[in-house]
Structure 1
């Protein structure tokens, strides 16, 4: 009887398999994804960076590697030095050598779209770190709320200077974050502009975030406006510092409010010295640790709960945005010093 039952069961299973569609049969016999069996020791993260020119990017690299080592995963870091072709080549090499997840800080938000596609073709997920890759099916975007950076910059500056001539020195036009910051700045300035209280007399991008370009732009703004400038909002602390150099040539450094962002050491020192009024602190410690944590989850195909989505021109990218913190002379101790981002002795040297 047992033999007859076994034969009948085999016959029934055969009939069921024949009745299934090909796709259903494949699902029935498919092996679990390789990622599900990975351990942390098996994971290799590729971290593609645009540049180390600014002080903050050195910190990003150090803290990212430190967080990866603490988590027990391998990480390979490449730096493109602002070269699109080099960054594409470096990331293609990492993909071909078998990374499990790609974390990328794009130099050019548009040109890195092809790399996202190549990574996906190789079964590798992509996390946009701090800067969003445009027109690509990015798996996750992690950054600070860059529009909020601009909103906070402009809010503080309009409290200091509610009327007058403003200069806006944006970041690199190829950096989508620069567009988001500008969007935030002008969202706040618009009512003042509409009332005629504020006039933006100069508004220019800074190619590749190069400080010398920002300085030349500020010099032009001063010349064409006969030094009649009342406030400067800059894309980061390096461009703010360049603007202050241009102002110093006219003995205006310290008399015209200047806002930057990134809380670079030089920027915080200028706040103490009175030539810069504001910077925006974005804890790189939090950002790098969260990036490693999320990269591991992507590599393991684990669920990630995003805060919101941001459209990058192709899809609504799942995004996690951390809050920035304004820093002026009143809260340096409670922010960058308390977090160990800068040492008190270095700031007040």
Structure 2
């Protein structure tokens, strides 16, 4: 009788201990466990990731102000959903604190993977750290996150963008006085583009053929800020400028507006990038020389495919490794395309990025 009592007591103690251990366990993986409660055991990997069940991707965007970003949002959404996954999208409107808060909310709600278009390449590192603490991987979309252990990066070759811009303009103006209107200093892509531009310009600067008479960043990529920069460049140089390279089409538009105010639009070559519709129209009209086309559908679909695969615990392949100041980041970089008046129809129009009527509505065929 005494043995039965002892055995019963031990069994009870063991059950209590197990219950206490289960209720007190908090090892940083609670959010991941909650994400898997609705999944059947055969849908889970050893890491708790679903292989065949639905996954949810968080997409933390910086802005929708520039023409391209609404396209990215919808194309990414469509691509994720076509793969049988769900997507939640937030937009921070250039507010770093808001972007971090929005990402924290998606992390707490249990997304399976977070994709970020950072506003500030440095500040966004905090998001990566918080996501990893919750067992969630992070992908950088189009813009690299600096000084963080980011898991993957998908973009276009932004240094190549700058090279294409500079090659196009130096072919037209091999000697002269150049203005460089940069992008947002907080955006690492702006630095990569500038690096590509000056990779081409530097030998011509060293030889004395080209002089860069003005070089300034544009806060938040805002066209009016770029216009102010261009006005300053014109004033400082008494309108003696031979070429302008702008970091994107929005800043190119600001530069062209300043040139137009001085009767110089169309007389001075201007480069941009993104193939925005206003830029395509300026190319058709002759006030902007070229743009760099980055097929956004390809970017969105590539990023979505990789994100869903990673969320499901599948192995993904990188094309190269890029240093972000802390680690070598597995990356896929897509190829940009230089576009001017001679090939605009066989590139952005042939791809359906813009229609012929929209681009040439002021230059209609007979």
TM-score (norm 2): 0.86
1:185 is aligned to 2:185: no
Which residue number in structure 1 is paired with residue 142 of structure 2?
A: 130
CA distance in 2, matches of 1:33, 1:46: 19
1:157-211 deviation per Cα after TM superposition (whole angstroms, max 9, x unaligned): 1000000000000100000000000000000000100010000000000011111
CA distance in 2, matches of 1:298, 1:66: 18
> Where do 5+ consecutive residues of structure 1 fail to align?
1-30
1:44 is aligned to 2:56: yes
CA-CA distance at 1:304 after TM superposition: 1.6
CA distance in 2, matches of 1:46, 1:343: 32
CA distance in 1, matches of 2:134, 2:295: 33
CA distance in 2, matches of 1:226, 1:197: 20
Which residue number in structure 1 is paired with residue 117 of structure 2?
A: 105
CA-CA distance at 1:39 after TM superposition: 2.3
1:66 is aligned to 2:78: yes
CA distance in 1, matches of 2:47, 2:231: 58
Aligned residues: 317
CA distance in 1, matches of 2:90, 2:237: 43
CA distance in 2, matches of 1:215, 1:250: 12
1:57 is aligned to 2:69: yes
TM-score (norm 1): 0.90
1:33 is aligned to 2:50: no
Match of 2:101 among 89, 94, 114: 89
> What secondary structure, in the 3-state scheme, does the structure 1 residue paired with 2:128 have?
helix
Residue pairs, 1:162-201, within 5 angstroms: 162-201=174-213
> What secondary structure, in the 3-state scheme, does the structure 2 residue paired with 1:256 have?
coil
1:221-251 deviation per Cα after TM superposition (whole angstroms, max 9, x unaligned): 0000000000000010000000000000110
CA distance in 1, matches of 2:353, 2:55: 29
**Root mean square deviation, CA, Å:** 0.9
Match of 2:233 among 221, 226, 241: 221
CA distance in 1, matches of 2:337, 2:256: 22
CA-CA distance at 1:38 after TM superposition: 3.4
Which residue number in structure 1 is paired with residue 151 of structure 2?
A: 139
CA distance in 1, matches of 2:46, 2:247: 47
> What secondary structure, in the 3-state scheme, does the structure 1 residue paired with 2:159 have?
helix
CA distance in 1, matches of 2:304, 2:245: 32
> What secondary structure, in the 3-state scheme, does the structure 2 residue paired with 1:317 have?
strand
CA distance in 2, matches of 1:174, 1:246: 24
